[in-house]
Amino acid sequence: MRKALIVDCCLRGAISRTARLMEAFTRALPADVEVEKLVLEEEALSCLVGAHFEQRQRLLDAGMLDHPRFRYAHQFAEADIVCIAAPFWDLSFPALLKVYIEQISVDGITFTARDDGLVGLCRGTDLVLLTTRGGIYANNPMEMGSRYLDALHTFYGFDRYHCIAADGLDVFPAHAGEILEKAMGDARALARGL
């Protein structure tokens, strides 16, 4: 069985449009893919400050990569497919996702530095971002969420990066339903082909 990690950063509960993309994607994954879901809102994630930061440094210096606080990094590194579902906030994504990225970016687990540069250590082949946006941001340099995750897919060592975005949901509310349906179809097609 292959493993898919679904990272749920859809923060508006039942009314989240991004969550609908995530459900469409997850349900269409091939039968040989085992799904593990991580709901970021339910995790006690802390950003790297103060004692939390210092503990991490001590553990890294001591080579204690099996410490429980690195469980998110191990989980991420061991997945064959990682799908992140997050709405477009403030030109990127919610801060909670950045806090999670701080948790998984661990030298020796998800990446490392060698003489010839950085090397990704994740076993995953495909990193997927599912997002919905109020405005239209495809091919817009002000879009900083998908472009950042695209860079991270290289940093972590994934082979491929995919982004499915439903754009313009708040700018064109009359068309929001059809825009979302189209993106859900794209998400299903992507999932089926993985």
Q: Which residues bind ligand FMN (CB under 6 A)?
A: 10, 12, 16-19, 87-91, 132-135, 169-170
Q: Which is nearer to ligand FMN, 108 or 134 (CB)?
A: 134
- The minimum distance between CB 102 and ligand FMN, in angstroms, equals 20
- The minimum distance between CB 126 and ligand FMN, in angstroms, equals 22
Q: Which is nearer to ligand FMN, 25 or 88 (CB)?
A: 88
- The minimum distance between CB 105 and ligand FMN, in angstroms, equals 24
- The minimum distance between CB 132 and ligand FMN, in angstroms, equals 3
CA 44 to chain centre: 17
The string of DSSP codes covering the chain is -EEEEEEE--TTGGG-HHHHHHHHHHHTS-TTEEEEEEEGGGS----S-HHHHHHHHHHHHTT-TTSGGGHHHHHHHH-SEEEEE---BTTB--HHHHHHHHHH--BTTTEEEETTEEEE----SEEEEEEE-SS--TT-TT--HHHHHHHHHHHHT-SEEEEEEE--TTTSGGGHHHHHHHHHHHHHHHHHT-
Q: Which is nearer to ligand FMN, 10 or 128 (CB)?
A: 10
Q: Which is nearer to ligand FMN, 17 or 153 (CB)?
A: 17
Residue, CB closest to ligand FMN: 134
- The minimum distance between CB 89 and ligand FMN, in angstroms, equals 4
Q: Which is nearer to ligand FMN, 89 or 155 (CB)?
A: 89
